[in-house]
Amino acid sequence: MGNYNPTVDECIAQWQHNRLLLSKLDPEFSDWIVTATFYTALHAVESLLLADAVKADHATHGSRAIVLHNNRKYNETIWPAYKVAYDLAHVARYSAKPRRWMKADNIPLLLFQRSLYPIEAEVLKWLRALKVPPTCPDCPPVTLKPATPA
Amino acid sequence: MATAATKSPSKVIDQRQHAADTYRLIDNNEEFYERTGEQIVRACKMQISVQVWADNFRATLNTIYHWADGQPGKIEKILCEPRSDKVIFFVVPTSDEFDFDLGFAQATLDVTLNTQCNIGYAETRQVPRWDLKTFVSPEAMMIWSAPGTSASGR
């Protein structure tokens, strides 16, 4: 087992890397947009947990969930928004019909507005309070590619 | 001189100091387990009797019934699947698509399950009613269904 420990900067970079992918995927692959959204959110959350020096073993989904819903700092805004992204991504990865579960048209209004953006806003609020900048990123709204005409 | 029968003095794991330290545990079959001090303390706290766990689980079901009754028209059924490391409550919505409002309500329930119910780690998962076989084991128990459905009840 390796002992690599990611840094806050590395988590922020991966958060932004995954976020960039969202605007590059064709809406035809909305199931992968859902999955990429979850991993965007995950790295945003990881950056805050690291910045907060949360010592718990949060490298697994279960242990990260425990940290998120057992701490008031995270369980009011971040946990609910993260949880819906987690549930959606789980079905997006394993169902043979993931696009029936989350329609591409609903991604900006539901998945981004109700899950990703609230997580990012909360993480940025705390990172700024912790004076993590200058690496602290801007998170403008994601612009999805227009659907490719059939 | 110490002999094999001599008990060594107790070693202390103090959660305030050792939460992040890792410990290697070895069982009689020489299986290795690496756990943090925090995890070891949590495991000890959960070392409660089966009877107490069963009582806590019954109380948890009442919590879930009450929660489900508070989501009228949104839930078709709830299935429960105890696993070795957690209990999963599969929430099956009446809609064919993911129900965001229900998802946020589940997040609140998750907090209750894990901070008040004392049954170990538990989580809810919203899964499509048209794809249950992919996500829910055949051994899962139905613990709640919507009033008026063919399998309604608890």
Q: How far is CA A102 from CA A33, B66, B96, B110, B123, in A?
A: 10, 28, 9, 22, 21
Name the DSSP class of B8: P
Contact B130 A100 (CB under 8 A): yes
Minimum Cα–Cα distance from B102: chain A residue: A84
| Kind plus residue range of the DSSP H or E element containing B17 | helix B15-18
- Give the count of beta carbons closer than 10 Å to the beta carbon of residue A14: 18
B128 Cα to chain A: minimum distance (Å): 7
- Which chain A residues have a beta carbon less than 8 Å from that of B84? none
**DSSP at B138:** T
Q: For residues B126-141, give the mean pLDDT.
A: 96
pLDDT digit string (tens) for B69-115? 999 999 999 999 988 778 999 999 999 999 999 999 999 999 999 99
Residues paired with B142 in a beta bridge: B79
Gap between the Cα atoms of A64 and A89, Å rounded: 16
Higher-pLDDT residue of B32 and A31 is A31
For B37, the token pair is 């001090």
Instruction: Tell whether the model's pLDDT for residue A136 goes beyond 60.
Output: yes
Chain B residues whose beta carbon lies within 8 Å of the beta carbon of residue A94: 134-135
Supply the mean pLDDT for chain A: 89
CB contact under 8 A, A100 and B96: yes
Q: Among the listed ranges A65-69, A92-96, B5-9, B17-21, which one has the minimum average pLDDT value?
A: B5-9
Q: Is the peptide bond before B9 cis (omega within 30 degrees of 0)?
A: no
Cβ-Cβ contacts under 8 Å, B96 against chain A: 100-101
- Residue in A with minimal Cα distance to B18: A55
pLDDT of residue B2: 47
For chain A, say whether B121 makes contact (Cβ under 8 Å): yes
Check B100 against A110: CB less than 8 A apart. Answer: yes
| pLDDT for residue A111 | 95
Is the CB of A72 inside 8 Å of chain B's CB atoms?
no
pTM comes to 0.81
Cα–Cα distance between B102 and B138 in angstroms, integer? Answer: 24
Task: Provide the pLDDT for residue A10.
Answer: 92
**A65 in reach of chain B (CB within 8 A):** yes
Of the candidates A77, A110, A22, which has an alpha carbon nearest to the alpha carbon of residue B108?
A77
CB A91 within 8 A of CB B98: yes
Taking the Cβ of residue B134 and every Cβ of chain A, the question of whether any pair is shorter than 8 Å is answered with yes
Helix ranges (DSSP H) in A3-149 = 8-22, 30-51, 61-70, 72-75, 78-94, 98-101, 117-129
Mean pLDDT of B125-133: 97
| pLDDT at residue number A58 | 54
Contacting residues of A for B103, CB less than 8 Å apart: 80, 83-84, 87-88
* Per-residue confidence (pLDDT) for residue B30, from 0 to 100: 74
Q: What domains are there in chain B, each with its CATH number?
A: 15-45 (no CATH), 50-145 (3.30.70)
ipTM, two decimals, is 0.90
- Local confidence band at B1 (pLDDT 50, 70, 90 cut-offs): very low
Interface-testing mutation among A30, A57, A63, A73, with chain B (most B C-beta atoms within 10 A): A57
Q: How much is the pLDDT for B80?
A: 96
Percent above pLDDT 90 for chain A: 65
Computed over every residue of chain B, the mean pLDDT equals 86
